[in-house]
Amino acid sequence: MRAALCNDVRILAYHRVLEAEVPATFRFDPDLVSASAEGFREQLRIVRRRCAPMRFDELLDHLDRGRPVPRRAVLITFDDGYDDNHRVAYPLLREAGLSAMFFVSTGHIESGRPFAYDWLVRMLCTAPDARLDAPELGLSMPLPDGLRERRALAVRVLDRLKTLPAEAQQALIQRLQAQWSMPDADGHPDCRPMTWAQLREMREGGMEIGSHGVGHHMLAKLPREAMREELRASRAAIARELGAAPVAVSYPVGGPDAYDGAVVAAAADAGYRIGCSYVTGAQSLREGPGHAWKRIPVEREMDPAWFDAMLALPELFCYRSRTRIG
C-alpha cells in the first residue's frame, strides 16, 4: 500500500477549447478559453508521449487495491459544461485515444442558458451607453467605450462579486440583466451549455462525467442546506440521466473562498469519492482519495514547451495569479 500512496498526480483543468484562437472581438470571458483546437491537440500529444494518462475510475482502482500509481500520472478535466467541450474537445480526445472528466453544472444542461458569470462579462462588454451602478461592489460609473477597458472592468467586477454571498451575487446579475435589457434567457451560440444527449454520447465514447453543482454557485457562499442540496441534486441528476452516479465533483470557482470544511464534508456525505478544487499544484496521493484535491490550470497563452515543463515541474511552472470563475 505504501508504494501507491507515495506518488502524486497531475490533474489538468480546462474550461473551453475553441476551434481557433480567441478573436479580438470576443465578447465573453477570454480567460475561460484554455486552448485553441490545434493547441489542445498538441497538448494531448505531449500527455501521451511524456505522461501516464489515467481516468478517475482507474486511479481509484489503483488506490483501493494498493497498486502503485504510474509515475507522471495525469488526469484531464473540464469545468462547467460548455458545448464546445462536445464539439471541439471531445473529438480531439477521441482522436488521441484519451479520456477526460467533464464536470458539469446540471442546472444549465439542456437549458440553453449561459453561465451567470460569463453572461455578466458579456453584458459588461456589450451594453450600449450604459452605467454600472453596483453599490454592493463599491462601483458606480458609466461603462467605458473601448472593449479593452470594458474587459478590464469585468475583471474588477468579478473579483468583487465573488466576495458576496451567493444570493447577493444572483440578485446583482439579475438586476443588471433587467436594467440593460439583456436577459440570460436570450442565450448566445458562443456561450451555450451541453445537452444530456451530448453527455450520453461522450460517456458512451469513453469520457467520464462529474458534478459541478447545479447552478454554478460558489458552494461556500450558499446557506449550508442549500449547499448540501446542490451536491446531492447534481449527483442525482447525473445518475438519472446517464445511468451512473459520478465519483467526483469539482467546486465551482474552486479557490480558497469557494469551498471550506463544510463543503468538503458535504461532498463526502453526498457520495463523491473525490472533490477537486482550483487550488494550483500537483496532488499528493499520500492520503488516498480526498475532497480538496489540487489541479493545474491550463491557460491559452501556454506554448508546448511551457506546457511540457509545467507537467514535469508544476511547482515552478504553474500559473498561480490568475482569477478563475470555473
- Give CA torsion, residues 113, 263, 232, 201, to 10 deg: 50
Residue 9 contacts residue 290 (beta carbons within 8 Å):
no
Q: Which CATH code of 3.20.20.370, 2.60.120.1130, 3.40.190.10, 1.10.287.130 fits the domain covering 2-110+195-317? A: 3.20.20.370
Q: Where are the domains of the chain?
A: 2-110+195-317, 116-186
Please report the pLDDT score of residue 279 as a whole number. 94
Please report the pLDDT score of residue 2 as a whole number. 37
Cα angle, residue 110 at apex, residues 105 and 114 outer, rounded to 5°: 60
Spatial distance between the Cα atoms of 142 and 326, rounded to a whole number of angstroms? 28
Spatial distance between the Cα atoms of 247 and 288, rounded to a whole number of angstroms? 14
C-alpha distances out from residue 13 to 22, 49, 185, 221, 253, Å: 19, 19, 28, 22, 12
Phi, psi torsion values for 309, nearest 5 degrees: -65, -35
Spatial distance between the Cα atoms of 267 and 134, rounded to a whole number of angstroms? 33
Spatial distance between the Cα atoms of 104 and 207, rounded to a whole number of angstroms? 13
Please report the pLDDT score of residue 325 as a whole number. 52
Q: Classify burial at 54, counting beta carbons within 10 Å of its beta carbon; exposed 0-12, middle 13-18, buried 19 or more.
A: buried
Tens place of pLDDT per residue across the chain (326 aa): 333 444 899 999 999 999 998 888 889 999 999 999 999 999 999 999 999 999 999 999 999 999 999 999 999 999 999 999 999 999 999 999 999 999 999 999 999 999 999 999 999 999 998 899 999 999 999 999 999 999 999 999 999 999 999 999 999 999 999 999 999 988 888 899 999 999 999 999 999 999 999 999 999 999 999 999 999 999 999 999 999 999 999 999 999 999 999 999 999 999 999 999 999 999 999 888 999 999 999 999 999 999 999 998 887 777 654 444 56
Please report the pLDDT score of residue 319 as a whole number. 63
The DSSP secondary structure of 257-279, one letter per residue, reads TT--HHHHHHHHHHT-SEEEEEE
Residue 45 contacts residue 306 (beta carbons within 8 Å):
no
Spatial distance between the Cα atoms of 146 and 31, rounded to a whole number of angstroms? 18
Question: What's the predicted TM-score (pTM) here?
Answer: 0.94
3-state secondary structure of 238: helix
Please report the pLDDT score of residue 322 as a whole number. 47
- CB neighbours of 272 closer than 8 A, spacing ≥ 6? 211, 231, 235, 246, 247, 248, 249, 291
Spatial distance between the Cα atoms of 320 and 167, rounded to a whole number of angstroms? 28
Nearest residue to 30 via CA among 299, 279, 218: 299
What sections of 66-101 are H helices per DSSP?
84, 90-96
Q: Within 13 Å, how many C-alpha atoms sit on residue 136's CB side?
A: 17
